[in-house]
Amino acid sequence: MSEPAHHPHDDTAPGDDHEVDVAAGVRGYLIGLAIAALLTVASFWAVGTHLIWGPGVGVALAVLAIAQMGVHLVFFLHITTGPDNTNNTLALAFGVLIVALVVGGSLWIMANLNHNMLPMPQMTDLHTQR
């Protein structure tokens, strides 16, 4: 039994370079815009409604934000898993790693900042002794 041939259109994003039809490209952008707008409205709804448990609103917003990023990556930046997008995917992963390190490091420094500082009475005594 022979394997089916791999076609370049098997792993493409909406509006990817393989689409020759301008109308199909514009349709891909419009679909992405509609989904992004829907996710934005859903975020405002999640904050304003009482149907979501109070502490769960942050989780709902995080999920909607991740979905929003996915829509932007696929529909507007055309990041796919295709072989021609390997460098884009690696650059995206490296960017996410750098942002995670900066945000994580900043949070770690801020969490330990209070512990490493002098108490306020001792700090004011240092300033008055000069």
pLDDT for the residue 64: 95
Other Cβ atoms closer than 10 A to 107: 10
pLDDT for the residue 6: 54
Query: Per-residue pLDDT tens for 26-77?
Result: 999 999 999 999 999 999 999 998 888 888 999 999 999 999 999 998 899 8
pTM equals: 0.60
Q: Which contacts qualify for 61-66: CB closer than 8 Å, 24 or more apart?
A: 64/39
Compute and round to an integer the Cα radius of gyration of the chain: 24
Other Cβ atoms closer than 10 A to 39: 19
In the predicted structure, residue 3 carries a pLDDT above the cut 70: no
Task: Locate the domains of the chain by residue range.
Answer: 8-80, 84-130
CA gap 106, 113 in Å, rounded:
10
pLDDT for the residue 32: 94
CA gap 72, 66 in Å, rounded:
10
CA nearest 71: which of 18, 32, 119?
32
Q: Identify the three-state secondary structure at position 117.
A: coil
Question: Structure tokens of 127?
Answer: 């300033």
Higher model confidence: residue 64 or residue 129? 64
Query: Per-residue pLDDT tens for 100-124?
Result: 999 999 999 888 887 777 677 766 7
